[in-house]
């Protein structure tokens, strides 16, 4: 069964969708879209360092993504607006990563695969990494769901309930770094933020509870991954961008339906 490259690709896409769904909800609720983008951009520097040091791509990507996320958290509120800080760090990390890759002599690297994903080349070992990381992210979010939700809704309420919002932010940061690391192979660093944000944003108009929103986002992400792969196969288009295109179409359709329902009431 796993000898079929489309089966492996579908499983990889579903794994990333399941990891990105609950995390993407918190990204939307906390308005952290650019934060996720900055963390993803930093991952290309991790790829370059991994290749230079002959380490696992997953290890390099997760370490650098985590360092970037922690750096942004530490520097926030120290004289720079958050969007300015994220813009500087995101594009600087991407640029340094691309320059670092150019210095890797004797190593063949498909840069487009890391920028936009190469889901059709996913191997069995890649599947183990993707599903292992997805399981860890889902378990982490499920374990801290209530404290994370409280800290997201109101920091003062969180403190009153004995919850440290900074600790919950750190947990989200770790989960985000893991998701970025496992998603590189599927959609690439430039499209990871889209898989975090678009399914969650699409689910928002359908959900009545936070839990329902996370579940619906997972369903939308899964449909996007499978349908996007099929579209890429039949239309001969890039797989990663095709997955994001399907997610965007679903978001537009659901938003239109929601707008029509509101207009009719």
pLDDT of 77: 58
Measured CA to CA in angstroms, residue 8 lies from 30, 124, 200 at distances of 33, 7, 24
pLDDT of 264: 66
Q: What is the pLDDT of residues 147-198, one digit of tens each?
A: 999 988 888 888 888 888 888 888 888 888 888 888 887 888 878 888 999 9
What residue has token string 């600790």? 167
Residues 6+ away with beta carbon under 8 Å from 186: 12, 13, 16, 117, 119, 122, 130, 195, 225, 240, 243
What is the pLDDT of the chain when averaged over all its residues? Answer: 84
Q: Tally the C-alpha atoms within 13 A of residue 62's C-alpha that lie toward its C-beta.
A: 16
59 belongs to a structural domain: yes
pLDDT of 198: 93
pLDDT of 167: 86
127 belongs to a structural domain: yes
Centroid of chain to Cα 89:
18
234 belongs to a structural domain: no
244 belongs to a structural domain: no
Low-confidence ranges of the chain (pLDDT < 70): 1-3, 76-82, 105-111, 264-265
pLDDT of 11: 92
pLDDT of 3: 56
Cα 213-214-218 angle, rounded to 5 deg: 115
53 belongs to a structural domain: yes
What angle do helix axes 33-53 and 5-29 make, rounded to 10 degrees? 130
d(CA 122, CA 152): 35
The pair of three-digit structure tokens given for residue 182, joined into one six-digit string: 């496992």
H or E segment and range at residue 237: none
Reported pTM: 0.86
Cα 150-156-161 angle, rounded to 5 deg: 60
Residues 6+ away with beta carbon under 8 Å from 67: 42
d(CA 130, CA 70): 23
DSSP letter for 208, please: S
pLDDT of 54: 78
3-state SS class at 2: coil
pLDDT of 76: 64
The CATH number linked to 30 is 1.10.3470.10
The pair of three-digit structure tokens given for residue 237, joined into one six-digit string: 């288009």
85 belongs to a structural domain: yes
The domain total for the chain is: 1
DSSP letter for 56, please: -
d(CA 178, CA 135): 10
pLDDT of 247: 94
Range of the domain at 30: 5-190
Measured CA to CA in angstroms, residue 23 lies from 20, 126, 136, 160, 174 at distances of 5, 21, 12, 24, 11
């Amino acid at each position: 069964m796993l000898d079929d490259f489309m089966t492996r690709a579908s499983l990889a896409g579903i794994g990333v969708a399941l990891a990105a769904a609950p995390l993407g909800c918190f990204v939307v609720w906390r308005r952290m879209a650019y934060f996720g983008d900055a963390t993803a951009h930093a991952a290309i520097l991790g790829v370059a360092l991994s290749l230079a040091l002959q380490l696992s791509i997953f290890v390099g990507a997760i370490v650098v993504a985590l360092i970037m996320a922690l750096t942004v958290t530490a520097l926030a509120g120290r004289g720079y607006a958050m969007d300015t800080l994220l813009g500087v760090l995101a594009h600087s990390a991407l640029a340094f990563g691309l320059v670092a890759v150019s210095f890797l002599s004797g190593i063949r690297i498909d840069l487009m695969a890391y920028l936009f994903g190469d889901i059709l080349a996913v191997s069995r070992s890649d599947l183990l990494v993707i599903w292992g990381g997805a399981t860890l992210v889902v378990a982490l979010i499920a374990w801290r769901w209530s404290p994370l939700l409280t800290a997201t809704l109101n920091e003062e309420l969180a403190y009153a309930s004995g919850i440290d919002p900074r600790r919950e932010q750190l947990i989200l940061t770790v989960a985000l770094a893991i998701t970025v690391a496992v998603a590189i192979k599927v959609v690439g660093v430039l499209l990871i933020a889209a898989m975090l944000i678009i399914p969650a944003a699409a689910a928002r108009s359908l959900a009545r509870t936070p839990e329902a929103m996370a579940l619906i986002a997972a369903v939308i992400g899964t449909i996007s991954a499978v349908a996007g792969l099929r579209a890429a196969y039949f239309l001969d288009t890039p797989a990663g961008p095709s997955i994001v295109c399907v997610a965007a179409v679903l978001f537009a359709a659901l938003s239109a339906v929601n707008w029509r329902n509101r207009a009719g009431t």
